[in-house]
Amino acid sequence: MASNKKVVVLGVFALALLLVAHCAEAHVCTIRNRYYHGPCMSNKNCADSCIHNDMGSGGYCSSAWKRGPFGRICKCTFECGGETTPAPALAGDEPPLYTAGAEVSN
């Protein structure tokens, strides 16, 4: 009987942990950096431009398939509200690789 209680408590704890993790997820939205001119060749330069121009907390170079192989544009990333879901990525879009001042840890 005691082992059944342990299983139930463990199950409730795991369910609560999953709910908390799902609710705490932040949505990341992107917007084209209108201040970045020319082809985007460096994720770091793009992110720095986004931060400097108060357009987001980071940025990355994205392939624009309509523009050809040299048509990479700078996109800024920022947290958006939980009600808004980010637009689906187009084929060729890259994930944000650089955010100034942030450390990546696993």
Q: Is the pTM of this model over 0.75?
A: no
Domain count, the chain: 1
Per-residue confidence of the chain (106 residues) as pLDDT tens digits? 567 877 676 766 666 665 555 555 678 999 999 999 888 999 999 999 999 999 999 999 998 666 666 678 999 999 987 554 445 444 445 555 554 444 333 3
pLDDT tens for 30-57 read 999 999 988 899 999 999 999 999 999 9
Q: Which structural domain range is residue 72 located in?
A: 26-80
Q: How many C-beta atoms surround the C-beta of residue 76 within 10 A?
A: 26
**Helix or strand (DSSP H, E) at 6:** helix 2-23
CATH for 55: 3.30.30.10
Residue 106 placed within a domain = no
H and E: helices and strands count for the chain: 2, 3
Q: Examine residue 40 and state whether it is found in any structural domain, yes or no.
A: yes
pLDDT at 2: 64
Has residue 52 been placed in a domain? yes
